[in-house]
Amino acid sequence: MITATPSCNIDLLKEQARIVRIEILKMLTRSGSGHTGGSLSSADIVTALYFYKMRHRPDAPKWTMRDRFILSKGHAAPLLYAALALTGYFDKSLLSTLRKIKSPLQGHPSSRMLEGVEVSTGSLGQGLSISNGMALGLKLDKIPASVYCLLGDGEIQEGQVWEAAMTSSHYRLDNVCAIVDLNGLQIDGMCRNVMKVEPVVDKWKAFGWHAIEIDGHNMEEIVSALDETARTKMKPSVIIATTIKGKGVSFFEGKGEYHGVAPTGEELEKALNELSKDGR
């Protein structure tokens, strides 16, 4: 069983995030399609969740006491699959089947096809509403578990997100933690040019949330923020994580064109060389 611990090895988490990025790049290259930028930008956050903060049991995916993770930005499925494989939900060899016909590793997560996926996602804007429902159910059943919901910054342009944000606050769902991957880019370009979402922190605070602003690639800050949300009572928490699209590979970083483009074989070789050299 993987459980949160009073202290953690930051260097070990950083190393695990590096391995997660490598697995993401390998499976995307094999499939020839998928979302590179947003999977890499959230890798540090999801690594901290699965390898440090969340209580979960790969040997018993439906364990009642587990913390739940909702990948609202479902196009970052390769990141979730890497985390699930590396924590033992399924054999890592299955990662090579990403986006193949009949593979349980679809382009967006399917809870019907893969153990460890709490809910099928991909239609943006719905994850926080689902998280609220789960959190309310947990409270009614008196189960002391948390629900973590990862949102994209382009995604929070959706009105449903803010309806859900009001609901979380109204019902004082302190077992909900939203995490916004604030990488500034979406499929059509810069988020601020498509539909400005700033001031992001002030918006969440105005909706009654406990808001924490961090560097989404600083593992110490990520871990500290996750611990702070667990201590926050009577209101939901949101972590606003400033990130870099494509983080970890210099020629992907900050490039909107890699939102939904897989690496080529040559790019994979260069990327793996970078990751092996500097361990970013």
Residues 6+ apart with CB under 8 A from 221: 214, 215
Hey, where are the domains in the chain? 10-278
Topology of 10-278 in CATH?
Answer: Rossmann fold (3.40.50)
Task: Answer yes or no: is pLDDT of 33 > 60.
Answer: yes
pLDDT for 178? 98
Residue 7: band (very low, low, confident or very high) from pLDDT cuts 50, 70, 90: low
Report the share of the chain in percent with pLDDT over 70.
96
Dump pLDDT digits (tens) for 95-149.
999 999 999 999 999 999 999 999 999 999 999 999 999 999 999 999 999 999 9
pLDDT for 8? 80
* Cα 7 from chain centre: 22
Q: Is the dihedral of CA 194, 199, 201, 207 positive or negative?
A: negative
Residues 6+ apart with CB under 8 A from 249: 21, 25, 40, 270, 271, 274, 275
Q: What is the pTM of this model?
A: 0.94
pLDDT for 277? 58
